[in-house]
């Protein structure tokens, strides 16, 4: 009985340690994405945005905004961040017209 309790306690400790390491690692990824996002500026084109943010974590979408079709990129992060970092581009010029990095960091033309 005691051996079973020791094994269960050890297993629980290992699981909790793994969760702590995973969450710390994931939060580091979030802060990295957010700090890169805050380096973006209005007027950048897609290539410039990707040079700063990296290509691997993006999803490109289109939406209708004020009756106009616009393209935007959403950058995924390891944990849910609301709103997810995203950049909206002017279809005519290809320039960034709206940048959202976090609730506190938004840029708009």
- Pairwise CA distance, residues 40 & 101, whole Å: 9
Domain count, the chain: 1
pLDDT in tens, 27-77: 456 778 888 999 999 999 999 999 999 875 677 777 777 777 778 888 877
Residues of the domain holding 64: 2-108
Neighbours of 47 (CB within 10 A): 8
Are 53 and 75 contacting, i.e. CB atoms less than 8 angstroms apart? yes
**Of 7-16, 44-53, 82-91, which range is least confident?**
7-16
Q: What is the pTM of this model?
A: 0.65
The chain-wide mean pLDDT, for the chain, equals 76
Compute, in degrees rounded to 10, the torsion defined by CA atoms 34, 38, 43, 48.
-60
| Residues in contact with 97: Cβ distance below 8 Å, sequence separation at least 6, in sequence order | 42, 70, 88, 89, 90, 108, 109
H-run or E-run covering 89: strand 86-89
What's the pLDDT at 5?
A: 66
């Amino acid at each position: 009985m005691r051996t079973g309790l020791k094994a269960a306690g050890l297993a629980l400790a290992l699981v909790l340690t793994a969760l702590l390491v995973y969450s710390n690692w994931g939060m580091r990824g979030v802060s990295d994405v957010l700090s890169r996002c805050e380096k973006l500026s209005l007027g950048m084109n897609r290539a410039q945005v990707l040079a700063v943010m990296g290509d691997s974590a993006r999803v490109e979408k289109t939406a209708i905004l004020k009756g106009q079709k616009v393209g935007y990129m959403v950058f995924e992060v390891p944990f849910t961040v609301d709103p997810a970092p995203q950049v909206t581009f002017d279809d005519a010029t290809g320039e960034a017209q709206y940048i959202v990095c976090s609730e506190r960091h938004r840029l708009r033309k």
